[in-house]
Structure 1
């Protein structure tokens, strides 16, 4: 397994555990984070043995968001020409967006397990995941407004589809904190747990359940859900018809039906 500066990655029982590993910096998202997350999710996509990803943060907090040193470095690289500055900043922003697009575009389900701080850029990150779970003491905040800027790496684009437009606007305009209980009530997370141990136990049990399913069926299901964010219902129905014209010929259907008939657990190929 590759050694990373900002992450620790483990594969066990078909579950890839991707851990933001900068606890001394509250898991702030530094330059290495943005480069390495692309490589990690490319590996996840390319590795058939991976069925599902669990994304966590090492230590007391999930992540305090983008490392302020990274912003300072970007500012120090600006010159006197406004047009060239704008072109440089635009390229940097698009590169950051591409890093989190790698999570969103991943063929495998990605589950975020969140404890402590989940601020600013970390909201962009979890918005790109399939599902989110947290501890009751978790703290969520779209912090960019307090830094005098608009969030630009995915929160404003993805979060309305998760919690609704009105609530997203409230949180984006105020930057106020949301605890774990409220996060569950507004649909930001599926469920909140009393502590990190119970959170991880529940999330890993869920991941194991998903890992037992047909990987082709999971892939198709995720692709259809993602496709429907940006398309009409009839577009989605046309797409799934074309997709399943091929996928319904998979051996996984025979395996699933045989297991159902014999009341045994199916064992699907990678």
Structure 2
């Protein structure tokens, strides 16, 4: 199936989702297509999320503005519109397989909120990250204010969100937003593919269970109980014995 806002390419059991809109801007077409895009990922064992000339310039305000402006003051209508965007990001986060964001160039606003829903974030040395909504009179509402504090700490999330100022790749790694910085986009994409292949080769039920327990946000004891319950239901004796023989 072909899409206007993304390209899907497969290599083995991994799928790369490339944003193909102008400068990676996330306009109405992206949000509209994402449910079908996510369905196309149902047989993937790992997913790479990336851009073309840069990762993402954020929400396409020129295309989305005409939808948003008539709804200002209409809480029900505005909420219904933004819920479509929420569904796309939450659907990405809910995939049972690892999602690796490979960021080069700018990653702004909604783009940053999108990668916050990924499981692993890598970048190249030219990457820049910002959450500038406050400068536009907007409170970021696509999950960034909720996901960033556990990733980078409350103080750093507050600094990023209230200042609206960008951070570079070195700072992003130091803060924990990304786990690796690579010298060039080319090196980044090679590493992202290698990591995706590595994760795709792991037992899928173990990967899914690990994602669920990490992301459920349950209190400590409940989270441990959830991990035990998952293993009781899904641990594969054959996989375990094969691993022990190595």
TM-score interval (norm. to shorter): over 0.9
Counterpart position of 1:186:
175
Question: What per-residue deviation string (whole Å, max 9, x for no partner) do you get for residues 160-180 of structure 1?
Answer: 010010000001000111111
- 2:4 is matched with 5
Task: Could you list the structure 1 runs, at least 4 aligned residues long, displaced by more than 6 angstroms after superposition.
Answer: none
Give the length in aligned residue pairs: 246
Cα distance in 1 for residues equivalent to 2:33 and 2:164 = 28
Q: Is the 8 A contact 1:42 1:102 kept in 2?
A: no
Residues 75 and 94 (structure 1), Cα distance of their counterparts in 2 relative to 1, 3 Å cut: closer
Contact 1:142 1:172 in 2 (8 A): yes
Q: Which runs of 5 or more residues in structure 1 are unaligned?
A: 264-270
Tell me the SS of whatever aligns to 1:150: coil
Measured in 2, the distance between the counterparts of 1:166 and 1:186 equals 11
Alignment-derived partner of residue 36 in structure 1: 33
Aligned residue among 17, 27, 30 for 2:24? 27
Q: Distance in 2 between the 1:189 and 1:36 partners?
A: 27
Deviation at 1:54, TM superposition (A): 0.5
TM, length-normalised to structure 2: 0.95
Question: How far apart are the structure 1 equivalents of 2:243 and 2:141?
Answer: 47
Cα distance in 2 for residues equivalent to 1:219 and 1:164: 25
Q: Secondary structure at the match of 2:83?
A: helix
Alignment of structure 1 residues 82-97 onto 2, 5 Å: 82=73, 85-97=74-86
Q: Where do 1:218-233 residues align within 5 Å?
A: 218-227=207-216, 229=217, 231-233=218-220
CA RMSD of aligned residues (A): 1.4
For residue 71 of structure 1, report the CA deviation from its aligned partner. Answer: 3.3
Cα-to-partner distance string for 1:168-226 (whole Å, 9 max, x where unaligned): 00010001111111111110000111101111111111111111110111111111111
State which of 62, 75, 78 in structure 2 corresponds to 1:69. 62
Matched residue, 1:205: 194
Secondary structure of the residue aligned to 2:24 is coil
- Report deviation, 1:256: 4.3
Q: Which runs of 5+ in 2 are unaligned?
A: none
The alpha-carbon distance between structure 1 residues 76 and 159, as it changes in their structure 2 partners (threshold 3 A), is closer
Q: For the Cα contact (< 8 Å) 1:28–1:67, is it kept in 2?
A: yes
CA–CA distance in 2 between the matches of 1:75 and 1:255?
51
